Chains A and B, each alone.
Chain A
Amino acid sequence: MMIPRISFALCWVMLGLVLMFLFTPIVIVVAVSFTESAVFSFPPQGFSLKWYYSIRNADGLLASAWLSAQVAFISTLISLVLGTLCAIAVVRRMVPGGDAIATFMASPLMIPGLVLGIAFLQSARLIGLNDAYATLLIAHIVLTMPFIMRTVLASLSMFDFSMVDAARMLGCSYPRALWRVLVPNILPGVMSGALFAFIASFDNYPISIFLVDVHTKTLPIQLLNQLEMSPDPTVAATSALLIMATIVALIVCDRLVGLKRMTTI
């Protein structure tokens, strides 16, 4: 089929516009974080790193970043173990109604965050769970589970279990066969799932907002507070650091398993 030259041109223009739409806010935030002025202004005036220094002194910013990282890491880790085991049981048909279970585990993605947040708050009240940290953690396990389940299920459905038999016939015991053959083959999928899960937890706002208290605030919530109370470029500097951390994480994942293999899952 011949596609007219004009269509190609139009496609390229659209691509350019979409990329601009995605990248402009990032570029602006990073640029603003280096400004000398005390207000958000673009283009930035002068060049300074003072807003990066001020992150240290900003009220609770570092503490909330640490909390967010903890919650994201622990909830992702727990989801990773539970989700992978659950996915194996579903794929190998070890339990009846496996497909229904898989759909249920992935459902939090389809429910508005605010609804989930209120539901978690009420449930926590109902069972007398007053600890904000524990409630946050439980909510974030539910939140991260769909990412893990989806990617692990996709990886396992493409995994040929006769490879495990082959490894056993070549001299590996069953657990060793799983470790040497199953794990390396589903790792790219599992890693990409874990990365998305971590990010989803780290920047979650709508669920966390219902569950935090004065002493336990996650970074997105603390950032918004900061923006309301003292709207200076400290927030921009924090955002720039987060963007950098994401880029580093992507590079590390690329080196470990290859981004191409991760994104094909």
Chain B
Amino acid sequence: MNVVAREAAHARATPRSDRYLDVAAVTKRFGAATVLKDLDISVARSEFISLLGPSGCGKTTLLRLIAGLMKPDGGRIAIGGNDLTQVPAHKRNIGVVFQNYALFPHLSVEQNVAFGLEAQRTLKAEIGGRVQNALALVRMQAFAERRISALSGGQQQRVAVARALVVKPSLLLLDEPFSALDRKLRETMQIELRHLLRDLEITSIFVTHDQDEALVMSDRIAVMNEGRIEQLGTPDEVYSSPASLHVLEFVGQSTRIGGTASASGQGGDVGIETPIGQIRASMRRNSGPTGKVVVGIRPECIALGERPGADFNEITAELADIVFFGSKTALHFKPPAMEDRIQVEVARLPSGVAPGAALKLHWPIAETMVYPTP
């Protein structure tokens, strides 16, 4: 993506100019290893941002730095203009939902939720009502007297959310809160939590390594790699216009083909020589790299059949595999000159298509992404 496009995307992604949470040039080292390097990120009020990345990319470290459970080696963290860098965790008024919920097993559901209010010396008369309201938000009033060990995973998560929200935190941090739930429940809870947080207009930062979770829940996604933010954008931007090869690989499925880009192709496009023939990519979309490059294509952009026009790439490849998913079908092609497979997604499999058939494939040059080989 070129600079102009990136700035335009950024302007779209941050309609509110206020930098509610401001993390500036934060660095964190563990011994000789630098986990975060001069990292900047700002979050608008009531925005929901995901930190997405593989394990070890520094996302949990960033979360713990914002929470105050760790001290940064450099940089500054501020909320609503107040510098919190030197403020201890217990005075930051930040809510956290931990990965394993970290509920207190020696207390009842009600007492767990009241814990924060008591620690902050809220008036006794006020506590009962606020606890009831918080439990009502997550629909857990009926379980107020229960012990934590008597709750299911989903119920525990609700209590953890209520406990974090009852103190009216200025920021909510969520550390992979869905990883302990089974798939069906996870999907329900994701939507439910998203609605709740949107209704309460609470600013949230959500750490996950699950790209689907990030795409479903976020206003914006920060894709992290090796202690840096590689791209910050809306789910659509991150998926359709990955800023780097890492983002392309980490978010969603894609076919990647190595090749060599020539200086200029026909009609202002860039031409790439690959093992499966020349592929053209639109200059408007790419910064026009030359030399060794990787071409990336999303599976749903590729269609079967001859290309309908000159703005499409076309190749012929042998069908190796058909994978049926119900709502869609994935086709895997294996050109002899390529190590990886070409992944194609179609809504419905055309009749008479079977593995071993040589088929024509086409996709728009506008949907062809090009990245320099790392």
Footprint of B on A, CB under 8 Å? 160, 162-163, 165-174, 176-177, 180-181, 184-185
Contacts and interface: CB of A to CB of B under 8 A. Distances in A.
Contact residues of A: prevailing secondary structure: helix
B102 interface: yes
A162 B105 contact: no
Given A171-B120, A172-B90, A165 B98 contact: yes
A166 B120 contact: no
Interface string B301-319: 0000000000000000000
B361 interface: no
B115 A167 contact: yes
A160 B105 CA distance: 10
Contacts of A176: 119
B100 A172 contact: no
Contacts of B59: none
Contacts of B106: 184-185
B163 A170 contact: yes
A173 B92 CA distance: 11
Interface in B83-132: 88-96, 98-100, 102-106, 115-116, 119-120
Contacts, number: 64
Given A170-B119, A170-B163, 10 more contacts: A162-B102, A165-B96, A166-B98, A167-B115, A168-B89, A169-B69, A171-B119, A171-B120, A177-B90, A185-B104
A263 B96 CA distance: 34
Contacts of B164: 169
Given A165-B69, A168-B69, A169-B67, A160 B102 contact: yes
Nearest to A159: B105
Interface in B48-97: 67, 69, 88-96
A166 B163 CA distance: 10
7 contacts: A162-B98, A163-B104, A165-B67, A166-B96, A170-B116, A170-B167, A172-B119
Q: In this complex, which of A168, A169, A177, A180 has the most chain B Cβ atoms within 10 angstroms of its Cβ?
A: A169
Contacts of B100: 160, 162
Interface in B149-193: 163-164, 167
A237 B90 CA distance: 57
Nearest to B98: A162
A264 to B, nearest CB: 12
Nearest to B93: A171
Contacts of A160: 100, 102
Contacts of A168: 69, 89-90
B41 to A, nearest CB: 20
A176 B115 CA distance: 12
B90 A169 contact: yes
A173 B90 contact: yes
Nearest to A162: B102
A170 B98 contact: no
Contacts of A181: 104
Nearest to A177: B90
B90 A171 contact: yes
B105 A169 contact: no
Contact of B167 (A171, A173, A185): A171
Contacts of B89: 165, 168-169
A-B pairs with lowest CB-CB distance, top 9: A170-B116, A171-B119, A166-B102, A162-B102, A171-B120, A184-B106, A169-B96, A168-B89, A163-B102
